C-alpha cells in the first residue's frame, strides 16, 4: 500500500513537472546592430512590448541592440543555428543567400520611400520575401530605414570628388561596383567598426542614413556630408524556417499579426526619425551638410547608373523594371 502511494505521488510529481516544463515561455532573441533610437531599434522594442501584452507567459522576447549578441559577420549564421530567432539585417547583407535582393542596392533606383513601398507591396516585391526559403531563411516583412547620404573628408559635390577615396560599404557586390564606378575604393566593413575606421583614417568616407549617421556619431568624424539620396537602406525581418515551423499554430498566427502591426508603425516613423536625426546633426554644428544642385545630382546618377546593367541578369530584369517603374 505504502509502495503504491509513493508510486502514485511520484507519477503526479512527474506530471506536474511535465506541465511546468511545457508552460515555460518560448524565448525569441531579437538581435540587431543599431541603437534603440533608430527605426529598427524602435521596431524591435515595439515588437517585444506587443508580444508581452498579447502572449504573456507563452512567449518572451529578448532584444539585443548594437551588435551586443551578434554582429554583421555572424548574425545570419546564428539565426540558422537557432542561437537567435529574429534578426533584421539590411537587404544588402543577404547576398550570400540570394542574388535577387541585390536589387535594393542599385544606385538611384528609388526616388524615395514611397517608391520603395510601391515596389515592396507589389506581388514581385512580396515574392522576394521567400527568396531565401531554400536556404532555411523565412522573410517576415520589410522594414524601412531610409535613403543613404554620402560623407567624406572633403565636399563630394560631383563624382570626381570621390575619386581615390576609401569608402566603407556593407557586404554587397553592387555597392562595391557603385563606388568603383566613380573611381573610389570600396571597403567591406562591419557596421560596428565604421566609427573607429573613420576616426583613424582607415577609411575616408561612408554612406548611410541620417538615423545611423547620428546614432553612431559618424558626423563627429566626417567634416562634409552631401544629401545625395543615392541609394536605399532597408531591412528584411527574418526568422529561420526551423524555428517558425516549431511554433504552435496559435502563437505563430498571433506573432504574424503583431509583426504586421509593428511593420506599419516602423514604416510610418522611419522618415521622421531620419529627418529628426538630420536636424540634430545640423544643430551639433560639428559637420557641414551640403545640398546638391540638380546638375550635380545628374552627374552622380550618370556615373553610378551603369551598375544596373552589370547586375540586371543576376537579379532578373523583370524585378529591375518593375522597381524602376515605381519612381516614374
Ligand atoms: C550598415 O551596416 O550600415 C547598416 O546595415 C546598419 C543597419 O542595420 O542599419
The domain limits of the chain are: 23-325
Task: Read off the pLDDT of residues 37-80 as tens digits, 9 standing for 90 and up.
Answer: 999 999 999 999 999 999 999 999 999 999 999 999 999 999 99
Residue 276 and residue 215: Cα distance in Å, rounded?
Answer: 11
Residue 265 and residue 69: Cα distance in Å, rounded?
Answer: 25
DSSP E strand boundaries for the chain: 26-31, 59-64, 86-87, 137-147, 149-152, 166-169, 185-188, 205-208, 224-226, 232-240, 288-290
Is 267 close to ligand 1, i.e. is its CB under 6 Å away?
Answer: no
What mean pLDDT do residues 243-252 have?
98
* CATH 3.40.50.1110 assigned to 23-325: no
Is 212 close to ligand 1, i.e. is its CB under 6 Å away?
Answer: yes
Q: Is the pLDDT of residue 237 over 70?
A: yes
Task: Read off the pLDDT of residues 282-314 as tens digits, 9 standing for 90 and up.
Answer: 999 999 999 999 999 999 999 999 999 999 999
What is the pTM assigned to this prediction? 0.93
Tell me, what's the pLDDT at 3? Answer: 54
Ligand 1 atom with the shortest distance to the CA of 190: 2
Tell me, what's the pLDDT at 260? Answer: 98
Ligand 1 atom with the shortest distance to the CA of 93: 5
Q: Whose CA is nearest to atom 5 of ligand 1?
A: 90
User: How does the average pLDDT of the chain come out, rounded?
Assistant: 95
Tell me, what's the pLDDT at 19? Answer: 47
Burial of 294 (0-12, 13-18, 19+ CB in 10 A): exposed
Residue 173 and residue 21: Cα distance in Å, rounded?
Answer: 47
Q: Is the pLDDT of residue 137 over 50?
A: yes
What mean pLDDT do residues 130-142 have?
98
- Between residues 6 and 145, the one the model is more confident about: 145
Q: Is the pLDDT of residue 12 over 70?
A: no
Where residue 128 falls among pLDDT bands split at 50, 70, 90?
Answer: very high
Alpha carbon of 54 to ligand 1 centroid (Å): 30
Residue for cell digits 557586390?
173
Tell me, what's the pLDDT at 11? Answer: 54
Task: Read off the pLDDT of residues 87-121 as tens digits, 9 standing for 90 and up.
Answer: 999 999 999 999 999 999 999 999 999 999 999 99
Alpha carbon of 189 to ligand 1 centroid (Å): 10
- The CA distances from residue 297 to 108, 177, 270, 289, 294, in Å, are 10, 18, 24, 15, 5
User: Of the ranges 2-6, 73-77, 244-248, which one carries the lowest mean pLDDT score?
Assistant: 2-6
All 3 cell numbers of residue 53? 501584452
Q: How is 218-264 classified by DSSP, letter by letter?
A: GGGS-SEEE----SEEEEEEEEEHHHHHHS-HHHHHHHHHHHHHHHH
Task: Read off the pLDDT of residues 176-206 as tens digits, 9 standing for 90 and up.
Answer: 999 999 999 999 999 999 999 999 999 999 9
Tell me, what's the pLDDT at 22? Answer: 58
Q: With the C-alpha atoms ordered 37, 43, 45, 46, is the resulting torsion angle positive or negative?
A: positive
Q: Is the pLDDT of residue 5 over 70?
A: no
Query: 317-325 and 307-315 are packed helices; what angle lies between their axes, rounded to 10 degrees?
Result: 120
Q: Is the pLDDT of residue 4 over 80?
A: no
Tell me, what's the pLDDT at 10? Answer: 47
Amino acid at each position: 500500500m505504502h509502495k503504491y502511494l509513493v508510486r502514485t505521488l511520484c507519477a503526479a510529481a512527474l506530471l506536474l513537472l511535465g506541465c511546468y516544463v511545457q508552460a515555460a515561455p518560448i524565448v525569441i532573441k531579437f538581435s540587431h546592430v543599431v541603437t534603440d533610437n533608430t527605426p529598427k531599434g524602435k521596431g524591435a522594442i515595439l515588437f517585444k512590448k506587443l508580444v508581452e501584452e498579447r502572449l504573456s507567459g507563452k512567449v518572451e522576447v529578448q532584444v539585443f541592440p548594437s551588435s551586443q549578441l551578434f554582429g554583421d559577420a555572424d548574425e545570419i549564421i546564428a539565426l540558422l543555428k537557432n542561437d537567435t530567432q529574429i534578426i533584421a539585417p539590411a537587404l544588402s547583407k543577404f547576398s550570400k543567400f540570394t542574388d535577387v535582393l541585390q536589387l535594393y542596392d542599385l544606385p538611384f533606383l528609388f526616388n524615395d520611400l514611397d517608391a520603395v513601398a510601391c515596389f515592396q507591396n507589389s506581388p514581385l516585391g512580396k515574392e522576394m520575401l521567400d527568396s531565401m526559403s531554400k536556404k532555411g531563411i523565412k522573410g517576415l516583412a520589410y522594414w524601412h530605414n531610409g535613403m543613404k547620404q554620402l560623407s567624406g573628408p572633403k565636399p563630394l559635390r560631383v563624382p570626381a570628388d570621390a575619386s581615390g577615396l576609401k569608402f566603407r560599404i556593407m557586404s554587397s557586390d553592387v555597392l562595391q561596383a557603385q563606388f568603383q564606378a566613380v573611381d573610389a575604393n570600396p571597403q567591406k566593413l562591419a557596421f560596428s567598426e565604421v566609427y573607429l575606421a573613420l576616426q583613424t583614417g582607415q577609411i575616408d568616407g561612408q554612406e548611410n542614413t541620417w538615423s545611423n549617421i547620428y546614432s553612431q556619431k559618424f558626423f563627429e568624424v566626417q567634416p562634409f556630408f552631401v544629401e545625395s539620396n543615392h541609394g536605399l537602406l532597408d531591412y528584411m525581418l527574418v526568422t529561420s524556417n526551423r524555428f517558425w515551423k516549431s511554433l504552435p499554430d496559435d502563437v505563430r498566427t498571433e506573432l504574424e499579426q503583431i509583426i504586421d502591426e509593428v511593420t506599419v508603425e516602423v514604416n510610418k516613423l522611419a522618415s521622421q526619425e531620419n529627418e529628426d536625426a538630420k536636424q540634430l546633426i545640423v544643430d551639433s554644428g560639428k559637420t557641414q551638410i551640403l545640398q546638391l544642385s540638380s546638375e550635380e545630382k545628374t552627374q552622380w546618377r550618370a556615373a553610378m547608373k551603369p551598375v544596373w546593367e552589370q547586375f540586371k541578369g543576376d537579379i532578373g530584369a523583370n524585378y529591375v523594371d518593375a522597381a524602376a517603374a515605381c519612381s516614374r
